[in-house]
Structure 1
């Protein structure tokens, strides 16, 4: 690589830790990375005009944001879902949008199982009781409601990389797994959505947010589930009709929910879901591990190298795969 060539200017829309810095440090001779906290709109506006690449995490990138970057050639999503990027405007401006399908699958799958276990075992309540020094719990309902995953039927809504990892874990724990996706795939464990909801003790969501999946889990869907069931969501908050979920949890039509994602993020402190004892929550971090960040950054650096060299990009979602050489 020509070390006399001006470095590729990257706007990384997150604050790195030491591990992240150690991964990109060896590329500093050709990669000029400017780090920007997702809440720092002032730095974002200042850096966008010179940025050639954005490494995007969660804070939505609007068409207005993209138009502030006349040199932009690539928005690389550190993750799979691109619903937080105005892909239509990016395409109009000739900006490639790429993602990383499968890179976060191990972490999100484990996060989904973590929420299943926390909900099944009533972990938040037991944690609080123990910290209050109240000793052995006297609630007799523990022995009537707490369950093992190995005794449950787990229904996976969506059957991509993450769901298949969840399936492996659940099967290893002795559970039964059903799944549904866009059509009958001919396997013994496939069910139409209504049957999966009715037959599952745990329902785990693993679909992207699209017009077809927006509020897929609405009141009618919730009414098909067992009153003793657990609903887990590590996909996108909009897949669930939140007011309908709140009502079902309050009325006892659904036992518990484990949620890593919400319709509006970051989740507002006054969201009623945060006030319910039968909800376990995390702030959209099931993907966020040192292992996932390593995979993300390795792939992000590789696509920058391809763009720099004029080679085709990988995992482009908006049709633009030509790696127009940035530096001549």
Structure 2
């Protein structure tokens, strides 16, 4: 199984894309940044744009979209030197239009499926990630989904709103996290943050990650042991996914993997929808092999209106929002603009991806 964290492919190093004329940076580094245009590729609301501009602090000219329109993206990117991308995929068309681009900065860490990295590499553009601000929100959201799925929260809430008082109906199927064995597929920053928080719930765990072996004292403190993917699936009451989407991980939770889980296991995914074969998961949820699921990500985003997942009452669904908190946004944008300031002034770019 591939590594759980893209940080393994990044380095703080330098890049040749800085201009020697810009090396005499002012004390705070901002004087040289004024007028540099940075496009925020996704369309968002005024509150989000306000957070971005506050982080830029007037040191950059932040370019935003009036509507979610690709023609506007291509027009806006034309005179920008940097682009911040995440939810909206950065495509060859955007890169063709962005003739002045000198750097691509991802808002998170899951870059493999959110930009045309082959084109980024071909053009010699450096790509940086933003690990800051992702971990806590995703870890908390994973636990939110665990609790909600285990207690059938969405069903109970919906039924109560319909006037149905199911005080006894869920006693035979709802679960407590206490005493559960958790299977972690991936033990990078987020996987470890989830495990840290589940200590308070009295959980133990098996983690499958060929790139990570935690120190023995950390394993003991978090009540974890390493194992293979098969061991994690077979031993666990709940399986939570914390790996990037790559050709090797696509569909890693398919029919065969689901059949190897404990009957009545719970599945949680806050990583990427393509990690799970949704048709296989729907069947497992319908036949009881999987008790419940909590999903923040989907094979297609948003899911089709007729997606079978939307019809199941043992699934808790959220629209890819685990890292999308105000707190995370502030931290991410502050980190991005610090990094861009460093890049344009000195050529130094933290968390740069070594593209394959």
Task: Give unmatched runs, 5+ long, in structure 2.
Answer: 1-25, 217-223
1:275, distance to aligned residue in structure 2 (A): 1.2
1:24, distance to aligned residue in structure 2 (A): 3.2
The match for 2:311 among 275, 284, 290 is: 275
Aligned equivalents of 2:332 and 2:70: distance in 1? 23
Per the alignment, residue 323 of structure 1 pairs with: none
Q: How does 1:55-66 map to 2 (within 5 A)?
A: 55-66=84-95
Is 2:85 the counterpart of 1:49?
Answer: no
Alpha-carbon displacement from aligned partner over 1:6-44 (angstroms, at most 9, x marks no partner): 511000123254476256337454300011268321320
Per the alignment, residue 186 of structure 2 pairs with: 158
Per the alignment, residue 225 of structure 1 pairs with: 261
Aligned equivalents of 1:221 and 1:198: distance in 2? 9
Q: How does 1:108-257 map to 2 (within 5 A)?
A: 108-139=138-169, 142-182=170-210, 185=213, 189-257=225-293
Q: How does 1:288-299 map to 2 (within 5 A)?
A: 288-299=324-335
Higher mean displacement: 198-207 or 34-43: 34-43
1:47, distance to aligned residue in structure 2 (A): 0.6
SS, match of residue 255 in structure 1: strand
Q: Structure 1 length as normaliser, TM-score?
A: 0.90
Per the alignment, residue 6 of structure 2 pairs with: none
Q: Specify whether residues 37 and 61 from structure 1 end up closer, same or farther in structure 2 by C-alpha distance, changes over 3 A only.
A: farther
Alpha-carbon displacement from aligned partner over 1:156-189 (angstroms, at most 9, x marks no partner): 1100000101001111111112211026837561
Contact kept? 2:51, 2:330, Cα under 8 Å: no
Larger RCO of the pair (alpha carbons < 8 Å, separation 6+): 2
The match for 1:86 among 87, 102, 116 is: 116
1:202, distance to aligned residue in structure 2 (A): 0.6
Q: Structure 2 length as normaliser, TM-score?
A: 0.84
Higher mean displacement: 58-67 or 257-266: 58-67
SS, match of residue 304 in structure 2: coil
Aligned equivalents of 2:180 and 2:32: distance in 1? 61
Alpha-carbon displacement from aligned partner over 1:185-222 (angstroms, at most 9, x marks no partner): 37561111111111111100000001110111111100
Contact kept? 1:117, 1:149, Cα under 8 Å: yes
Per the alignment, residue 306 of structure 1 pairs with: 342
Contact kept? 1:24, 1:301, Cα under 8 Å: no
Task: Give unmatched runs, 5+ long, in structure 1.
Answer: 321-328
Per the alignment, residue 34 of structure 1 pairs with: 63
Aligned-residue CA RMSD (Å): 2.2
Instruction: Number of aligned residue pairs: give it.
Output: 318
Per the alignment, residue 286 of structure 1 pairs with: 322
SS, match of residue 149 in structure 1: coil
